[in-house]
Structure 1
Amino acid sequence: MPYKKRQMDNMTKPKIIITIDTEVGEKAKFVKEGFEKFVMGKIGDENYGVPKIVDILNEHNIKGEFFVDVYEDTFFGKEKYASLCKYLDESGHGVQLHTHPSYAYDINRINMHEYSFEEQVRIISDGKGRIKKWIGKYPIAHRAGNYGANNNTLMALKGNNILIDSSYYYGHPNSKIRMSTVNDPLPYNQVMEIPVSIELKNWFISIIDSLKHKIPNKFDINSMNSQSMRNSIETYHSSYCIIFLHSSSFISRDQNSIEITGINQTALNAFSDLLDFLLKEKYAVTQFSKIPFTF
């Protein structure tokens, strides 16, 4: 059955998907205790990373989708990532694949689009195999680290039977996927691309931003305040709205991004406020496993 694009009108609310890129990241690759710092967000005896995000989600009876960079286990320990994925899965949250291939493959090639199709097939197979070993099931969705996917990535996902991707970030220089969409989901080779949601401005501002090579603003807890996030969601006209966090969203870092300097209380409050708003205004918050895409 062919995929039928949903027609949005002003009275239709988007379904919300809360996504969390769960990673130490490229900037902190060689940092001692990177997992504890930037995945767990350990400050003293408290964890302000994944555990805090899960606590806030659970308090609101909302489930999130955690894109886990499993290749970091090469640096920081397989047992840590295995325990993390089991914890997320047992809590009812989605465990999806996040690909920063430089951790396990080539330290000089950060983005997926820098690898051949055959290499990408192998990288994805390797990553989904780790998750299957740890939680007993394969991931169903993928996001490339740094948004650095290309169309070969989508074909490699199809070959690995991962049929949802959320790497495409319109206007971002690392995003090499070529599709005729901005925010609307669109199929490619039987893989459904659900783009990273961005703010759409009026045509004049968009042209000025483009001339300045300004990257469009995504729906990120760390780049939008509470009011801007609410306003943007209320004026968003696509079927799915991707909300963006990182495992380190609630912590502050030093200038080199390798040490924790404190709690990012603004981001923490913004996330709680957002979830309160979604519940109050009766937005449907969903997961990838519940998306009824047909082709």
Structure 2
Amino acid sequence: MTVKKLENIIAAICIVLTVSNFAIASDNGLPIVIITVDVESKKIDGVELPMPEQVNAICMNNISCGLGKMTELLKEKGYPAVFFLNVYEYKKYGEEPVMEIAKWFDGAGHDVQLHIHPQWAYDKDRNLTHQYTLDEQIKIIRDGKDLLEKWLDKPVLAHRAGAYGADENTLKALIENDILYDSSLFIASENSKVTALDLKKNVLSMYGPLYEFPVTVYRKHEEPPFLKGLLKPVSRVRKYDANWFADEAETEKAVREAIDMKLDFIILFLHSFSFIKHYTPDGDKIADIGAIHRFEHLLNIIKREELRVITFQDIKPGNLELSRYLNRQDSIPDISAQINAVQYSRKRMGITAANYKVFLTVFSLIAIFGLIATIKFIKRKNKNA
């Protein structure tokens, strides 16, 4: 036997071992993690925080709070992420700045895929993709795909609709553009019209040749500890998001439940501005320290539990076969949490940070009218006495 033949045999054995090891690693009963980040401009406290300013954002007290911090934490653990980039913002900021962001992600080993907020380039009065016709959606997706492929010279494989605003036409338009991975389904959002389709809500499913990766969720049940069993818990659907976890303990519980339930995939969610809590017209930024710590904790859990982190670029025949993850039971992890009586009452009544002023005004008016009525009643009673 020649040396050349021996080298070929050794190479073949190495390939077989590599594939076998991968198959074992991906079928060990542990969830596969896809870390996703929606990259877009955002209005915080009524002030716009432009996408380009988020890259190297520094918050007050010299705290790094932008995409640079996010990618730094990912690099420390050696994990890639999927950055869904709203390429249509080039209409406002120019092609060069948005292209440079895409190339920066790509150069750091991350996966850059398509994110659509159509109002930036098409109709400012139609913010959601499902507000456009099928033909319009086909064009919008084609335009974004062509732009991203021109910048990176790589095929666009995946998509997420801005504000989850996809419908059945969106899936058809993606298929028409040969984009066969979508992650727009989020059962807690009314914007996500694909939830009405015959698709699984928390596990992988298919629409024709397209694979739908839902934003992974869990149910959180909250009640005061001293009233446990006496009152119905406040139950809400939550996503696996550094900004949605209440604390590190909840982060731990949610991931542990996903592992125990043997979910195939955990689609983690962040925004490009997830580490920025407040932003003023003067440009001052306040970091969301809690979100930063929760994201760090998430990465630590992934490392500790030896969960595999992939991107959409890793999904290919011979590398990761998606067909094996179809036809799973649709399941949602449940966790419990303790809250005080005031928090319970507020959540039971649906009072949030967004609407508390309305509730406060209404309750104040009721109290004032009640007080006036009581005074009049007492006066009338004294007059008749």
CA contact (8 A) 1:252 1:260 kept: no
3-state DSSP of counterpart to 2:286: strand
Aligned to 1:51: 68
Determine which of 273, 294, 304 is the counterpart of 1:280. 304
Aligned to 1:5: none
Q: Does 1:89 align with 2:114?
A: no
Determine which of 179, 183, 189 is the counterpart of 1:162. 179
CA distance in 1, matches of 2:167, 2:284: 33
3-state DSSP of counterpart to 1:199: strand
CA contact (8 A) 2:39 2:51 kept: no
1:206-245 residue CA offsets vs partner (Å, 9 max, x unmatched): xx89xx9x86211110110222122111111321111111
Q: CA deviation at 1:79?
A: 0.8
3-state DSSP of counterpart to 1:143: strand
Higher RCO (C-alpha under 8 Å, 6+ residues apart): 1
Determine which of 225, 231, 234 is the counterpart of 2:253. 231
Q: Residue 253 and residue 37 in structure 1: after superposition, are their counterparts in 2 closer, same or farther (change >3 A)?
A: farther
Determine which of 265, 285, 296 is the counterpart of 1:261. 285
CA distance in 2, matches of 1:102, 1:171: 23
Q: CA deviation at 1:31?
A: 5.9
**Which residues of structure 1 form unaligned runs of 5+?**
1-10, 203-207
1:132-178 residue CA offsets vs partner (Å, 9 max, x unmatched): 11111122110000000001101110111111000000131111002
Aligned to 1:289: 313
3-state DSSP of counterpart to 2:244: coil
3-state DSSP of counterpart to 1:216: strand
Q: How many residues align?
A: 274
CA contact (8 A) 2:220 2:237 kept: no
Please give the root-mean-square deviation of Cα atoms over the aligned residues, in Å. Answer: 2.6
CA contact (8 A) 2:85 2:115 kept: yes
Q: CA deviation at 1:40?
A: 4.4
Question: Is the deviation greater in 45-54 or in 178-187?
Answer: 45-54
1:177-223 residue CA offsets vs partner (Å, 9 max, x unmatched): 02342201100021100000110358xxxxx89xx9x8621111011
TM-score of the two chains, using structure 1 as the length reference: 0.85
3-state DSSP of counterpart to 2:308: coil
2:90 partner letter? D
1:37 partner letter? E
CA distance in 2, matches of 1:67, 1:274: 20
Q: Residue 37 and residue 87 in structure 1: after superposition, are their counterparts in 2 closer, same or farther (change >3 A)?
A: closer
CA distance in 2, matches of 1:58, 1:145: 26
CA distance in 2, matches of 1:89, 1:173: 32
Aligned to 2:275: 250
Aligned to 1:186: 205
Q: Does 1:222 align with 2:239?
A: no
3-state DSSP of counterpart to 1:155: helix
Q: Residue 215 and residue 168 in structure 1: after superposition, are their counterparts in 2 closer, same or farther (change >3 A)?
A: farther
CA contact (8 A) 1:20 1:67 kept: yes
Aligned to 2:351: none
3-state DSSP of counterpart to 1:63: coil
Q: CA deviation at 1:269?
A: 1.3
1:41-82 residue CA offsets vs partner (Å, 9 max, x unmatched): 344887522221111101110000000000011112211111
The percent of aligned pairs where both chains have the same amino acid is: 34
**Between Structure 1 and Structure 2, which shows a larger proportion of helix residues?**
2
1:182 partner letter? K
CA distance in 1, matches of 2:148, 2:47: 24
2:94 partner letter? G
1:223 partner letter? W
3-state DSSP of counterpart to 2:268: strand
Aligned to 2:376: none
CA contact (8 A) 1:24 1:39 kept: no
Q: CA deviation at 1:293?
A: 2.3
Aligned to 1:205: none
Q: Residue 249 and residue 33 in structure 1: after superposition, are their counterparts in 2 closer, same or farther (change >3 A)?
A: closer
CA contact (8 A) 1:40 1:247 kept: no
Q: CA deviation at 1:266?
A: 1.2
TM-score of the two chains, using structure 2 as the length reference: 0.66
**Which residues of structure 2 form unaligned runs of 5+?**
1-27, 222-231, 316-320, 327-385
Q: Residue 215 and residue 155 in structure 1: after superposition, are their counterparts in 2 closer, same or farther (change >3 A)?
A: farther
Q: Residue 276 and residue 150 in structure 1: after superposition, are their counterparts in 2 closer, same or farther (change >3 A)?
A: same
